Amino acid sequence: MSNRTRVSILGATGSVGESTLSVIAENAPGAPDFEVVALTANTSVEALAAAAISTKAEIAIIADEKHYAQLKSLLAGTGIEAAAGANAVNEGAARPADVVVAGIVGIAGLPPTLEAVRQGARVALANKESMVCAGQLLRQEAARTGARFLPIDSEHNAIFQVLDRPQRVEKLILTSSGGPFRSASQQEMAAVTPEQAVAHPNFAMGAKISIDSATMMNKGLELIEAAYLFDTPVERIEVLIHPQQIIHSLVAYDDGSVLAQLGLPDMRTPISYALAWPDRMPLPGLERLDLAKIGRLDFLPPDTERFPALSLARAAVAAGGAAPIVLNGANEVAVAAFLQRRIGFLTIAQVAGEVLDEFLNSASANAVPATFDDVYETDRWTRRRTIEKLRLAA
């Protein structure tokens, strides 16, 4: 019997994956003894091979099959297995592990996240789109297999850390930096370029989540994620703008107490909490929070006029059923189009709202997805419809 913690990382070369590797590499006295099982990446074959070699992983899996030969040659003689393709990624997620870090962005992360749930692992969840699109189904599956969701999205991780009496909760309060355009006018936002939008004030993140932060769709998706993850009606979840991002979220109880989790904005803290749970693990290399140095913390209500994505998310989760899948799919397509400079910044939330409206007014709006295939079917419909709408607008 080994008492090592077996960890797999889906999306090992992305921002969450890199932070996870850095938490594992820190290896301070008192930290768990980690054993890396599977590492996956989409296309970054060299970074994947380097991570697999430095962590002595069992297997490295590249989703894009055209990099398979290169992966094999980079790993030749190391004893590390190499595999490629979407099925191999799913098999990697199903390989026995104590913790699977779900760090793939978008609904593309749902199939392997589901495999991690099916093997009954602790799922360190960064892939919020999985929970947004299939929250109900994933929770049912987890109840069946004994899998547990440990959120590493910093807001949800904060709530998870201070949620000691779920039955006494009055409100969950998700904090948000407000993104890079917190104080920008509508006219300024209309002219925003992809380069300006990916420059997040506090966190270095991948392109998709950076754009989502700028439109505040990220907070909208987090609102939906929180509703499913913590089984809380959306009316009892609030968003609070907090530019310094020191308080990562709060829980208000029915005795008037409000508990918060604080820390410098660094993904390694929530990731380490999920890896070591139910314990904590030391991160001596991490800069410590010095509140006297920070001096002040500011708070303000969100502006849903300039950031309609928040209201769209509330509408989607209140409608329930497949509506969150539609909002997410339309947003994924629109963000990709914005990054390719095919549409303007404000069009992202606008088209997502139009497709969501169309869906909510259709006969499909009342159907609750009963299977994961239903989820993927709604996602495909949404993508087709969003692409059509964007062509019409072009």
Task: Please identify, using beta-carbon distances, which residue of 129 and 153 lies nearer to Mg ion.
Answer: 153
Q: How many residues bind Mg ion (CB under 5 A)?
A: 3
Interaction between residue 153 and Mg ion (CB under 5 A): yes
Instruction: Show the binding pattern over residues 266-305: x = contacts Mg ion (CB under 5 A), - = does not.
Output: ----------------------------------------
Beta partners for 262?
Answer: 247
Q: What are residue 388's phi and psi, to 5 degrees?
A: -60, -45
Q: Between residues 216 and 316, which has the closer beta carbon with respect to Mg ion? A: 216
> Which has the closest alpha carbon to 9: 71, 64, 52, 66?
52
Which of 4, 191, 194 minimizes the C-alpha distance to 99?
4
Name the minimum Å distance from CB 386 to Mg ion.
24
d(CA 327, CA 349): 9
DSSP at 28: -
What's the CA gap between 180 and 212, in Å, rounded? 11
In whole angstroms, the minimum distance from the beta carbon of 62 to Mg ion comes to 27
Q: How far is the CB of 274 from Mg ion (least distance, A)?
A: 13
Residue nearest to Mg ion (CB): 153
CA–CA separation, 145 and 167 (whole Å): 24
Interface segment toward Mg ion; rule CB under 5 A; list 130-138, 145-153, 238-246, 298-306: 145-153
b/e code 205-242 from CB counts within 10 Å (16+ = b)? bebbbbbbbbbbbbbbbbbbbbbbbbebebeebbbbbb
Give the nearer residue to Mg ion in terms of CB position, either 126 or 323. 126
Min dist CB 269 to Mg ion, Å, is: 13
Residue 115 in the binding site for Mg ion (CB under 5 A): no
Please compute, for residue 252, the number of CA atoms within 13 A of its CA located in the half-sphere on the CB side: 11
Q: Examine residue 180 and say whether the peptide bond preceding it is cis (omega within 30 degrees of 0).
A: no
Closest CA to 94 of 4, 6, 225, 3: 6
Which residue, 44 or 154, has its beta carbon nearer to Mg ion?
Answer: 154
Q: How far is the CB of 222 from Mg ion (least distance, A)?
A: 6
212 binds Mg ion (CB under 5 A): no
Q: Which is nearer to Mg ion, 74 or 152 (CB)?
A: 152
Compute the least distance from the CB of residue 155 to Mg ion, in Å.
5
**Smallest separation, CB 153 to Mg ion (Å):** 4
Nearer to Mg ion, 62 or 125 (CB): 125
Q: What part of residues 61-90 is at the interface with Mg ion (CB under 5 A)?
A: none
Q: Are 234 and 317 in contact (CB under 8 A)?
A: yes
In whole angstroms, how far apart are CA 103 and each of 17, 50, 138, 150, 217? 6, 18, 16, 12, 18
Q: Which is nearer to Mg ion, 154 or 347 (CB)?
A: 154
Specify the stretch interacting with Mg ion by CB under 5 A; choose among 87-95, 152-160, 240-248, 282-290.
Answer: 152-160
List contacts with Mg ion (CB under 5 A).
153-155
